[in-house]
Structure 1
Amino acid sequence: MAWKEAVEQVLAQAVGALQFSLETLSVVCVLVGLVQTLRLAFSQRRRSRGADFPFARVRLRFGSWLSLALEFQLGADIVATTTAPSDSNLIRLAVVAAIRTFLNIFLAREMEQQQRLEERSHPETALPPLP
């Protein structure tokens, strides 16, 4: 029985490390997305002197990074629940997963609509399609 407790302890530490890694990746995605979005915004600002600022393009860039960050956060929640699958933790995971999934779906829809509008209005400078 001592080996079982040792294995459970190692597994709990591994799960904790994985959860922390996924949460860290989520924060890194938001940070990288912010930096890239700011770079894009400043470069577009310089190019669009007097013309309309391509706000939709900037939103698309940041939105794609936020969507990726949400995926990592959902993964971290799933991993965290595997070590403590109590009723309250499972309910919490279900609620959080539903909220994050709906946020991601609506964000993806909005990004697709914005990208189509951007391609129609400025086909020569359209961003490559989102994956």
Structure 2
Amino acid sequence: MTNILAIAAGGISSTERESGLEVLLTGLLTQFAQLLELFLETIAILVVAIAVVIAIKRLFHHKTKGKGHHLQEQIRLEFGQTLALSLEFQLAADIVATAVSPSWEDVAKLGAIAGIRTFLNYFLQREVQELQSIAQNVANPPEDKA
């Protein structure tokens, strides 16, 4: 508060004024990044929660109707795609968090987290592609050449 009064009275140098502005902007950027990180993490959690509810509802519905294995695979496929999307939101949140406090320790943590999530996402996407291929083969079986 003293600095604000000193600026208003003209009793502060331009260097001190620039330094104060830099501190203010840095603080605002940090707060914005923290809010953005929280927002992205919240979206990731909501995406997973909604996907779980939808998957359970669909599984229960198909089990009570006595529908086949193909529909279970379709539910797994859609759930896997949703988990991959959630991982992307979590990775974005980690990048935002590291952008405002880039110590070597934070960068190393981001690298480890990004590596793990990329690894998980890669194998999740592979499984999704396999399930898509299976679903396509079930929907359009190859014709016998007899």
* TM-score in same-fold range (> 0.5): yes
- Specify every segment of 5 or more residues in structure 2 that has no aligned partner in the other structure, as ranges: 1-18, 142-146
Taking the aligned partners of 2:71 and 2:64, their CA distance within structure 1 comes to 11
1:15–1:69: structure 2 CA closer, same or farther, 3 Å change rule? same
Aligned to 2:38: 20
Aligned to 1:63: 80
1:1-131 correspondence runs (5 A): 1-48=19-66, 51-52=68-69, 54-123=71-140
Given the two structures, how large is their TM-score scaled by the length of structure 2? 0.78
Q: What is the Cα-based RMSD across aligned positions, in Å?
A: 1.7
C-alpha contact (below 8 Å) 1:15/1:83 kept by paired residues: yes
* C-alpha displacement of 1:96: 0.5
Taking the aligned partners of 2:52 and 2:89, their CA distance within structure 1 comes to 17
How high is the sequence identity, in percent, across the aligned residues? 33
- Which has the greater radius of gyration? 2
1:60–1:52: structure 2 CA closer, same or farther, 3 Å change rule? closer
Given the two structures, how large is their TM-score scaled by the length of structure 1? 0.86
Taking the aligned partners of 1:113 and 1:62, their CA distance within structure 2 comes to 14
Taking the aligned partners of 2:140 and 2:94, their CA distance within structure 1 comes to 40
C-alpha contact (below 8 Å) 2:70/2:135 kept by paired residues: no
* C-alpha displacement of 1:48: 2.6
Poorly superposed stretches of 4+, deviation over 4 Å: none
Taking the aligned partners of 1:61 and 1:45, their CA distance within structure 2 comes to 17
1:95–1:18: structure 2 CA closer, same or farther, 3 Å change rule? same
C-alpha contact (below 8 Å) 2:70/2:138 kept by paired residues: no
Taking the aligned partners of 2:113 and 2:33, their CA distance within structure 1 comes to 19
* C-alpha displacement of 1:123: 4.0
